[in-house]
Amino acid sequence: MSYPTLYNTVKNSRFLYGLLKPVASWYTNAAGYRQLGMRYDDIIAEESTTVQKALERIPQNEYDQRTLRLRNAYQLSTQNIILPRDKWIKPEEDIRYLFPYVEQVAVEEAEREAFEAAKVIRK
C-alpha cells in the first residue's frame, strides 16, 4: 500500500497547502462519494488481502456502519439519485477509520517479507 507521496511536503509548506487545498477539496467533492453518504475509506479497493485483514481489525460498530453506508450508497446508485444536500457527508465527518489499520497491516506484511529474506549473522 505504500507509494511515493508528497503529502508531508505539501502539508508542511504554507504556500503549497494554500495553493493545493482548494483544488483538493473541489476534487474530493467532485468525486461524488460524499453525496452518496460515504466516507473516503469506504471506497478503498477492498479486493486485497491487506485491506481484508485491516477490515477484520476495525471495531465491530465501525464495520457495521460501513456496511450500512455501502448498502445505502448502492441503493442510491441503482436509483440514479443522490442524497439531499443536508445529508451529504461533511468534510469533518469524513474520518479515516480504516486507513491506519491498512497501514499497520502493510507494515506487518513488509516486516514478514523482510524476515523471510533475512540472513542470520551471529555476533
Give the one residue of 24, 31, 71, 111 binding other proteins; rule: CB under 8 A. 111
Distance in Å, CB of 68 to other proteins, minimum: 20
Residue where the block lists cell 445505502: 72
**Radius of gyration over every alpha carbon of the chain, rounded to an integer in angstroms:** 19
Grid cell of 94 as nine digits: 469524513
Residue 3 touches other proteins, criterion: CB under 8 A: no
Residue 57 in the binding site for other proteins (CB under 8 A): yes
- Closest to other proteins by CB, 94 vs 109, is 109
Among the residue ranges 5-13, 66-74, 83-91, 109-117, the one whose residues contact other proteins (CB under 8 A):
109-117
Q: What's the CA gap between 21 and 28, in Å, rounded? A: 10
Residue linked to cell 448498502: 71
Q: Is residue 1 a contact partner of residue 102, using CB atoms and an 8 Å limit? A: yes
Q: What angle do CA 3, 112, 109 make, to 5 degrees?
A: 35
**Residue 64 contacts other proteins per CB under 8 A:** no
Rounded least distance, CB 120 to other proteins, Å? 6
Residue 97 has phi, psi (to 5 degrees) of -85, -20
Binding other proteins (rule: CB under 8 A), the pick from 11, 56, 67, 71 is 56
Site residues, other proteins (CB under 8 A): 56-59, 108, 111-112, 115, 118, 120
